[in-house]
Amino acid sequence: MGRGEILAVAMELFAQHGYDGVSTADIAAAAGLSQSVVLYHFSSKENLWRDAMRGLFAKVNTQSLIDQDAYKELDVTARLRVAIRQFAHRSAQAPEFARVVTREGMAGGPRLRWLIEDLSPPMLDIFHRLIEEGTASGAFKPCSPGHMTMVIHTVTNIIFLLAPLTEIVTGQSPFSPEVIEHHTDTVVDLVLNGLAVRPATGPEKASKAGRPSPKKSLR
């Protein structure tokens, strides 16, 4: 078993039990290796965790999408739709991502800051920039790009994060192709319909006309 196989085992154990709940001895045992072999490849648990996280986050990185010319030519709504769909499908293929982010997000501290500052920008920035662009152009309602980015990440990953609960409630595996596709469509519809700017008509328009204008948009 080589370096790649050790990383795969480590990724799964860190996602299941968290950083503090796993030792290099645990990883070695799960991989069927001696602890000295694991440390030969990675020298420390910290280095092994970081390399495992780099591999995990690369699985859901959508940077290759936004570099494509065909993507750049789409309008902002279409680009957001494509970005959400790509992120949802990649998240389904790497459910460990949501588990790690949830654990470290709850704990806080240096590991979380490293994940956000060093590994997360491609996944956070793509949605943040699209929301900003759509809001500035009038295609989307005024909203906080950061908050909407959190909403997209959370809603997308919830059924994969809580897979056993999802299966009990729905009677279906969240990892079946049909459920992944349906869930992706649902997330896209929720986000885009929630952001869409629609002209008020009838009683709604009259009601809004009587309201005082907000002093500033929520940013």
Specify the pTM.
Answer: 0.85
Burial class (CB in 10 A: 0-12, 13-18, 19+), 52: buried
What distance in Å separates the CA atoms of residue 13 and residue 36, rounded to the nearest whole number? 18
Q: What is the residue extent of each domain of the chain? A: 1-55, 61-198
- The 10s digit of each residue's pLDDT in 156-165 is 999 999 999 9
Q: What superfamily would CATH give domain 61-198?
A: Tetracycline Repressor, domain 2 (1.10.357.10)
Token pair in block for residue 105: 């997000």
What distance in Å separates the CA atoms of residue 21 and residue 14, rounded to the nearest whole number? 8
Pick the CATH number of 1-55 from 1.20.20.10, 1.10.10.60, 2.60.40.10, 3.30.1370.60: 1.10.10.60
Number of DSSP helices (H) and strands (E) in the chain, helices first = 14, 0
Length of the chain, in residues: 219
Residue 72: per-residue pLDDT: 87
Rg (CA), the chain: 21
Residue 202: per-residue pLDDT: 53
- The 10s digit of each residue's pLDDT in 111-168 is 999 999 999 998 899 999 999 999 999 999 999 999 999 999 999 999 999 999 999 9
Rounded mean pLDDT of 176-204? Answer: 87
